[in-house]
C-alpha cells in the first residue's frame, strides 16, 4: 500500500509568534505535513515561493503591512494558481470574507481556531478542495458537491425568489455592508434584514457567506 502523500504548507503572517504557534498546532494535528517556508507578508512571499517550493496549501493572514491578504491572493492566482489558500485571520467581517471567497480562497478560519478544526480544514482542502463548514450547513455542502443538475438548482432557486430578493442577493455578493445595501435599494435596514432572513430560510444557509457561496456555485450571480 503506497505511503500517504506529504502535505506541503507555507505560512504568510506578519506576527512571528503567531506563526510559531500555528506551526506547533499543525505539528499536533498533521503528522504528514511539511512547512516549506514562512513569510511576513505578500511581498516577502514573492521572494520565497518558487516552482520547486510551491505549497499545496498556503495559510494566509488578511491584515499585513506592505502587501495584504487580498493583494496576495490576487498575485498567487495569477502566478501560482494551483496553490490552495486557507485564510487564518482575526478579520471576521462578512464583507471581508465575501471578498476573499470571490477571489477564490478555499477556506476561512479564525485565529482562535481549535486544533481539531485546523486539522479538519487542512485535510478537507487537500482532499475535497475547500473547507467552509464554519459558514454553511452540512446540507448545503452536500448539495453543492452532489451530482444535482446545476441548471435545475439554478431554476429552482430563481423560482423561490421575488424580484426584490434577487436584487438583494446581487448586492449581497458585493463588498457593501447591509446598511449600504439598504441605501442602494432605497429601503430601511430592517427591510434588508427581512430579505436576508427570507433567503437564509429558503436556501438553508446560516450566514451571508453561505448565501454568497450558494449564489456563486449555483450561478445565480455572475461575478
Query: Per residue in 39-79, pLDDT tens?
Result: 999 999 999 999 999 999 999 999 999 999 999 999 999 99
Give the other-Cβ count within 10 Å of 212's Cβ.
26
Which residues belong to CATH 3.40.50.2300 in the chain? Answer: 7-127
Residue 135 has pLDDT above 70, yes or no: no
CB within 8 Å of 218: residues ≥ 6 apart: 144, 150, 153, 154, 157
Which residues belong to CATH 1.10.10.10 in the chain? Answer: 138-217
Task: List, for residues 186-209, the tens digit of each pLDDT value.
Answer: 999 999 999 999 998 888 888 888
Under the banding of pLDDT at 50, 70 and 90, the label for residue 149 is low
Cα radius of gyration (the chain): 19
CATH class of 138-217: mainly alpha
Give the strand pairing for 84-89 and 57-60. Answer: parallel
**Single pTM value for the model:** 0.71
Return d(Cα 17, Cα 4) in angstroms, integer.
Answer: 30
User: Which one of 3.40.50.2300, 3.60.40.10, 3.10.20.740, 3.40.50.11900 gives the CATH number of domain 7-127?
Assistant: 3.40.50.2300
CB within 8 Å of 164: residues ≥ 6 apart: 185, 195
- Torsion, Cα 199 95 8 114, to 10 degrees, reads -80
- The lowest-confidence range among 125-129, 133-137, 197-201 is 133-137
Could you give the 3-state DSSP secondary structure of residue 54?
Answer: coil
Give the strand pairing for 7-12 and 107-110. Answer: unpaired
CA distances from 205 to 57, 79, 85, 105, 188 (A): 27, 33, 23, 19, 23
Amino acid at each position: 500500500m503506497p505511503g500517504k502523500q506529504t502535505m506541503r504548507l507555507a505560512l504568510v503572517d506578519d506576527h512571528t509568534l503567531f506563526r510559531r504557534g500555528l506551526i506547533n498546532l499543525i505539528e499536533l494535528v498533521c503528522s504528514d505535513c511539511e512547512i516549506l517556508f514562512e513569510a511576513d507578508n505578500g511581498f516577502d512571499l514573492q521572494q520565497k515561493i518558487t516552482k520547486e517550493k510551491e505549497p499545496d496549501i498556503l495559510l494566509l493572514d488578511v491584515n499585513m503591512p506592505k502587501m495584504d491578504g487580498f493583494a496576495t491572493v490576487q498575485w498567487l492566482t495569477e502566478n501560482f494558481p494551483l496553490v490552495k489558500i486557507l485564510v487564518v485571520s482575526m478579520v471576521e467581517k462578512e464583507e471581508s470574507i465575501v471578498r476573499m471567497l470571490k477571489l477564490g480562497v478555499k477556506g476561512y478560519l479564525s485565529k482562535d481556531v481549535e486544533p481539531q478544526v485546523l486539522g479538519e480544514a487542512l485535510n478537507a482542502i487537500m482532499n475535497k478542495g475547500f473547507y467552509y463548514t464554519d459558514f454553511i450547513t452540512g446540507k448545503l455542502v452536500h448539495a453543492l458537491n452532489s451530482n444535482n443538475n446545476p441548471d435545475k438548482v439554478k431554476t429552482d432557486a430563481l423560482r423561490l425568489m421575488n424580484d426584490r430578493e434577487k436584487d438583494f442577493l446581487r448586492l449581497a455578493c458585493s463588498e457593501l455592508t447591509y446598511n449600504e445595501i439598504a441605501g442602494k435599494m432605497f429601503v430601511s435596514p430592517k427591510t434588508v434584514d427581512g430579505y436576508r432572513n427570507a433567503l437564509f430560510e429558503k436556501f438553508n444557509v446560516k450566514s451571508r457567506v453561505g448565501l454568497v457561496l450558494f449564489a456563486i456555485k449555483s450561478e445565480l450571480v455572475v461575478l
